[in-house]
Amino acid sequence: MNRSLASIVLILTALMSCSLPIATVTPPTGTPASVMPTDTPLPPLPTPELGLAENPLILALAPASNTPAQIDAAKVLADQFTQRTGYVVVTVVPDSYSALVDALEKGNAHIVLLDPFSYELAYQKGLVAAAYAIVKDEKTTYGAQFIASRKGGFTSYFNEPTQTNVAEAAEALAQFADKKPCWSDEFSPSGYVIPLGYLNKNQVVTRPAAFVQGHPTVVRSIYAGGICDFGATYVDARKFPSLEDQYPDLMEQVIVVWRIPEIIPYAILAFSTNMPANMRDLFANTIPAILQTDDGKAAFKAAYDIEELLPINDAYFGDFHEYVRTSQVELFSLVK
């Protein structure tokens, strides 16, 4: 090997033994994910379509409906819905109505039976659309009444023989201004919230109320006198059996001053607004078919104590919505 060739070999050997820096290339903005570095976080997987096995619709029992018979009945209903609609339905038992409203808000409940205040809260939050009113004794709603002692000098604007009011609320309730009411309890629609809504709507300002715990106790308080000037009860709490036995002249001495129309719902079967409208319609139209079967009717009775339903929408309870709002009672405090 000549001297020149030997020099070239030595130079190449030296270069190969050196540790040269490695260049780092940053991909330009907009580089497809397939050519990005492997440590780049992957985007979240899309949520499966509602009603598939991976994202089922949830049929919620009423809180505390946890007996084996109720749970089994709910499963029968879920199976019926699945068979008739093609959507997968599962069941759940919430701990409370507040938990049920929370589940609706989080998308963890879709078919629900609500009491009046949990329905109102969910409705005001835009979480539900009412589909059916529960029928009891051939009615879907009930009323209330303002009562007072005849000795208190109040005028009755209610005609007992015809069971009708003879004046508007504004005229009848004005006489309660600066008087003290007896309310049943803080959670009573007919013994507190709706009557208070009527007073507020008609700008009748009263003295601080007494909560006497129970509609019959309201009647007793009015009869006895000295506790409050007027009160409100369901229709007609004066006929409570023990009251009639204890006070034979009660119906004469405790008068109905004005009766609130039947605007308070018993219970509402509703669908989550997370369900598309066409899906809600499909389920609403499926319910009567289930009720027409012996197994379906028995399941609705065992799971929800439902025997009859009336198709409605949220506007059906328009007066109830209005007077809950005018009561200015915090709804969160009413939903337990």
Q: Are residues 126 and 150 in the same domain?
A: no
Residue with tokens 């025997």: 307
Q: From 168, 152, 146, 107, select the one nearest 234 (Cα to Cα).
A: 146
Does residue 33 fall inside a structural domain? no
Domains contained in the chain, number: 2
Q: From 58, 61, 125, 59, select the one nearest 94 (Cα to Cα).
A: 61
Residue with tokens 């979240």: 44
Q: Range of 310's domain?
A: 57-136+266-333
Q: From 272, 335, 280, 278, select the one nearest 311 (Cα to Cα).
A: 280
Q: Are residues 121 and 145 in the same domain?
A: no
Instruction: Report the run of H or E that residue 100 belongs to, with start and end.
Output: helix 97-105
Q: Are residues 90 and 148 in the same domain?
A: no
> How far from 21 is each of 11, 15, 16, 18, 88, CA to CA, in Å?
19, 13, 13, 10, 59
Q: What angle do CA 301, 305, 307 make, to 5 degrees?
A: 60
Domain boundary among 264, 282, 315: 264
Q: Are residues 99 and 175 in the same domain?
A: no
User: In angstroms, rounded to a whole number, what is the distance separating the alpha carbons of residues 143 and 164?
Assistant: 12
Q: Are residues 128 and 147 in the same domain?
A: no
pTM for the full predicted model: 0.85
Does residue 45 fall inside a structural domain? no
**CATH number for position 125:** 3.40.190.10
Q: Are residues 91 and 129 in the same domain?
A: yes
User: In angstroms, rounded to a whole number, what is the distance separating the alpha carbons of residues 329 and 26?
Assistant: 60
Give me the tens of pLDDT residue by residue for the chain, a chain 336 residues long.
444 434 433 333 443 444 434 344 444 454 454 444 556 676 676 788 999 999 999 999 999 888 999 999 999 999 999 999 999 999 999 999 999 999 999 999 999 999 999 999 999 999 999 999 999 999 999 999 999 999 999 999 999 999 999 999 999 999 999 999 999 999 999 999 999 999 999 999 999 999 999 999 999 999 999 999 999 999 999 999 989 889 999 999 999 999 999 999 999 999 999 999 999 999 999 999 999 999 999 999 999 999 999 999 999 999 999 999 999 999 999 999
Domain boundary among 264, 279, 308: 264
